Amino acid sequence: MKIKLVNPNTSAEMTAAIGLAAREVAAPTTVVDAVNPAMGPASVESHYDEALSVPGLLAEIAAGERAGFDGYVIACFGDPGLDAARELARGPVVGIAEAAMRTATHLGRGFSVVTTLARTRGRAWDLVERYGVTRFCRSVHACDIPPLDLHGDAATKTIIEACHAAAAEDGVDAIVLGCAGMADLRAAVLAEVGLPVVDGVQAATLLVESLVTMGLRTGDRSEFAPPPPKPFTGMLRDFGTG
């Protein structure tokens, strides 16, 4: 099985760390290829960043289709371009926010999200509603660390403190890490917080594996059928369909 994990930002360092986290849980026979687009924002910290990350992300999905990948993970907690990617791909496409939140619902009556910047909390709440987990999500906490600054002892300490606060204030059964850049911090947070800690990168990787193993893919009879063929112009001329 071949899974393509796409980090929608252009940070090669973050992509490498995300790939390692995914491979830790993937089956020995599963190949996980972690990539980032050649174009797009250095990190995704706003609606503007998210919108401009989507063309590069979709280019990677299209390339994956040509290379014969079985499924895809979108490794950004905003799940950018998820619906469009599902139109392009033959196999399943899973976003890490959806995978993490749904996984957390299996672990108790409530979870809280610990994310990066406070300005991204609204997007997290939008996805809570979209994925039908409103009654499970108690809160979304921000540690106010930009995605590219998540590593180092000081950042790890701040994230752990935010997780402790979420556990104490919200009375939850699980913590969801709200950024792909936190994937390699899960073990450290788990050791300190003492609650189940869900990383969406690993959750999404295992979910794609399961869907492919069961022979399941996105239904394409209506909304998720391949996009109608048409030409594109200007900077998007190479994205034409058909």
Please state, rounded to an integer, the average pLDDT across all residues of the chain.
97
Q: Summarize pLDDT for 178-222 with one digit per residue, the tens.
A: 999 999 999 999 999 999 999 999 999 999 999 999 999 999 999
Q: What is the pLDDT of residue 107?
A: 98
| 8 A C-beta contact, residue 2 and residue 68 | yes
Phi, psi of 138 (to 5 degrees): -85, -40
pLDDT confidence bin for 36, thresholds 50/70/90: very high
Q: What is the pLDDT of residue 241?
A: 87
| 8 A C-beta contact, residue 167 and residue 108 | no
Q: Summarize pLDDT for 117-170 with one digit per residue, the tens.
A: 999 999 999 999 999 999 999 999 999 999 999 989 999 999 999 999 999 999
| 8 A C-beta contact, residue 97 and residue 203 | no
Tell me how far apart the alpha carbons of residues 189 and 144 are, in angstroms, rounded to a whole number. Answer: 17
Determine whether 152 is exposed, middle or buried from the number of CB atoms within 10 Å of its CB (0-12, 13-18, 19+). Answer: exposed
Tell me how far apart the alpha carbons of residues 242 and 228 are, in angstroms, rounded to a whole number. Answer: 7
pLDDT confidence bin for 25, thresholds 50/70/90: very high
Q: What is the pLDDT of residue 186?
A: 96
3-state secondary structure 193-230: HCCCEEEHHHHHHHHHHHHHHCCCCCCCCCCCCCCCCE
Phi, psi of 213 (to 5 degrees): -60, -35
> Quick one: CA dihedral 200, 55, 35, 185, positive or negative?
negative
Average pLDDT over residues 40-44: 97
Q: What angle do CA 160, 168, 151 make, to 5 degrees?
A: 10
Nearest to 173 by CA among 118, 222, 100, 108: 108
pLDDT confidence bin for 228, thresholds 50/70/90: very high
Q: Summarize pLDDT for 10-20 with one digit per residue, the tens.
A: 999 999 999 99
Instruction: Collect all residues with Cβ–Cβ distance below 8 Å to 195 and sequence separation of at least 6.
Output: 163, 167, 172, 173, 174, 175
Tell me how far apart the alpha carbons of residues 217 and 240 are, in angstroms, rounded to a whole number. Answer: 24
Q: What is the pLDDT of residue 242?
A: 75
Which structure tokens are listed for 137? 């999500």
Q: What is the pLDDT of residue 217?
A: 94
Query: Beta partners for 140?
Result: 113
| 8 A C-beta contact, residue 42 and residue 11 | yes
> Quick one: CA dihedral 200, 204, 210, 214, positive or negative?
positive
Share of the chain above pLDDT 90, in %: 98
Q: Summarize pLDDT for 49-72 with one digit per residue, the tens.
A: 999 999 999 999 999 999 999 999
